[in-house]
Amino acid sequence: MRRSAPDSRDQPADGGRLLATLVALWPYIWPSDRADLKARVVWALVLLLGAKLATVLMPFTFKWATDALTETGAPAGTATTLAWVAAAPIALTIAYGGSRILMALLTQARDGLFAKVAMHAVRRLAILTFEHMHKLSLRFHLERKTGGLTRVLERGRNGIEIIVRMVLLQLVPTIVEFALIVAVLFWQFDWRYVATVVVTVALYMAYTYVATEWRIGIRRKMNDSDTDANTKAIDSLLNYETVKYFSAEEREARRYDRSMARYEEASVKAYTSLAVLNAGQAAIFSIGLTVVMAMCVIGVRNGTHTIGDFVMINAMMIQLYQPLNFMGMVYREIKQAIIDIESMFHILERETEIADAPGAAPLAVAAGTIRFEDVRFAYDPDRPILQGLSFEVPAGKTVAIVGPSGAGKSTVSRLLYRFYDVTGGRITIDGQDLRAVTQRSLRESIGMVPQDTVLFNDTIRYNIRYGRWEATDAEVEEAARLARIDGFIRMAPKGYDTEVGERGLKLSGGEKQRVAIARTILKGPPILLLDEATSALDSHTEKEIQDALQQVSRNRTTLVIAHRLSTIVAADEIIVLDKGRIVERGTHAALLAEGGLYASMWNRQREAEEAREKLAQAGETEEGAPEAPNRNPPGTGAGDDDAPDRPDGAPRPADRAEEAA
């Protein structure tokens, strides 16, 4: 059962998640399998204590030097006094400088030593989240925007680094230093000084807490606005060509600016609230500093304290201000980091919808027979897609599935790949229920050529080799030759090292599809799944690719999801779907003879094609020049239009062409 992750905005401001977050992070800070990292943590704590002892020593050297200059505490005797006055201040001043250097060296050594621990924790959690994102179902990814997910990963990674470093490199040292300073005040002065300092710190932290809680909501709105602006920018840039087609640059700019305006407003409030927080902290501490210094002035006048004590209490309080200021900053940063990683933890907490069954065995493909047995499925319980689907793809045969938009064709391919699990019935390969085998072995046994090919922003060689990573360059080039793309690649200046751009936008639709075909040829699986594999090709190239696909599919079990009926006339069997049910099945000739839905679809596509040919001929006659070959004639539509498969619900161009025909 899939568990919905709560929205971070529904969490209370404090969330009660700080302790839970620290507990969750501890195994990564103190990893059981890394003794070297544990040793670094221990040595970092030792250096921390040494640095804080050196820090507390500094005000003492300041006091002693001051007392020496005022002759307070000098030894008896004139000669001795003169020697003391001459030598002690210099020596104590050198000691003061030495303690500062020692503190700085120990602190930097601690930070450098702990850096490996902190960044290892960041890396472990980042890769864990990245892997978990890939384990989540297709349903999860269809409901999210890619830009938003990458932003969650980025901010969560930064948030983890802040928490790890702040807690162990700032919060713990601050607590240690505060405890040492309180002990020194009690030893050198009296309980009244300790009480004043404790009250000051308590008020300081109370104010910090209240002000920070107020800022949390502002910070969350700023994050949401930032994410919204980022996703809109990515969405617009990924659809660069579409924006140009409709001259929508100004519209996209206004859409992005609206998001940035919300971000601007939230950011201004965030900076204003930070100024209020800092001003209040400074006022509270200054009042506490003034009180203890006034108490010391009275003590000097009464003879219970020296000038050195006055200087020491001032230095001690100023020194306390730095860790106190860090305490406020640490609290703010940790709270903000908690917000930033809330979404990351929610993703990690989300259970995978499609998971291997306990004890799942690898799929063993002997022949490759695919069988759908009374398969039922619905993306939404109120809208069934497949209703009792039963058919078989015999080993080594080719079966095509056709039907009008919304019939459930693409759903069949997604169920076979187990992007979703059936809600009724079962799907088997050589008698093995897909739910009883490992997903990895299942997907390694199926080669997919999708209708909408998206490539990695890398080289052509990289994208083809993705089909079988250990393949040699010669095997990659042979796959490209079989996919009829080797000639095009060799004409490019960089050949197989040509960059394809974001999502392969530097290539045409047909070129991208041939790369996808080459990738599947290289994989060499026993089962092929072709989802309108030639929809982006012109008629001449389509014939070449069809020949290549027929060669590749020989002796392989092949399931073809088709909208363009001319591509599946040679199939061993054609299954016609309508509203999730099989309404016709048979060979191309037999289905035409029946005169049913398949024959109607065939005639509509032929009529549309003939109409386009007449228009093309008329254009040649009027203009005296041949029309550019059409790469997407009617019927090349982009496959199935099940509503969950197309979140925007918009009909594809091919569907409109058919309706017009």
pLDDT tens per residue, range 208-261: 888 877 877 787 788 788 888 888 888 888 788 788 877 888 888 888 888 888
Residue 577: closest CA among 605, 598, 600:
598
CA pair distance 352, 354, nearest whole angstrom: 5
The per-residue pLDDT of the chain, averaged, comes to 76
The phi, psi pair for 543, rounded to 5°, reads -60, -40
Q: 145-176: per-residue pLDDT in tens?
A: 555 566 667 777 777 778 777 777 777 777 78
3-state class of 134 per DSSP? helix
pLDDT of residue 538: 62
Q: What domains can you pick out in the chain, each with its CATH number?
A: 18-349 (1.20.1560.10), 363-445+525-661 (3.40.50.300), 463-524 (no CATH)
CA distance readout (Å), 589 to 198, 237, 401, 597, 628: 92, 47, 15, 13, 33
| pLDDT value at residue 334 | 79
Q: 349 is written with which tokens?
A: 């907490």
Q: What is the mean pLDDT of each run of 10 residues along the chain (661 residues)?
A: 37 53 74 79 83 79 76 50 54 78 84 80 77 66 58 74 76 80 82 88 86 78 82 83 82 86 85 85 88 86 82 81 72 75 70 78 87 87 83 89 82 86 89 88 85 80 86 88 83 84 74 84 86 64 69 81 81 88 89 88 80 67 48 37 38 35 30
Q: What is the pTM of this model?
A: 0.59
pLDDT at 631: 39
Spatial CB neighbours of 380, under 8 Å, sequence gap ≥ 6: 644
3-state DSSP assignment of residue 652: coil
pLDDT for 637: 36
Each residue's pLDDT tens digit, 181-222: 888 888 888 888 888 888 988 898 888 888 877 877 787 788
Judged by DSSP in three states, 367 sits in coil
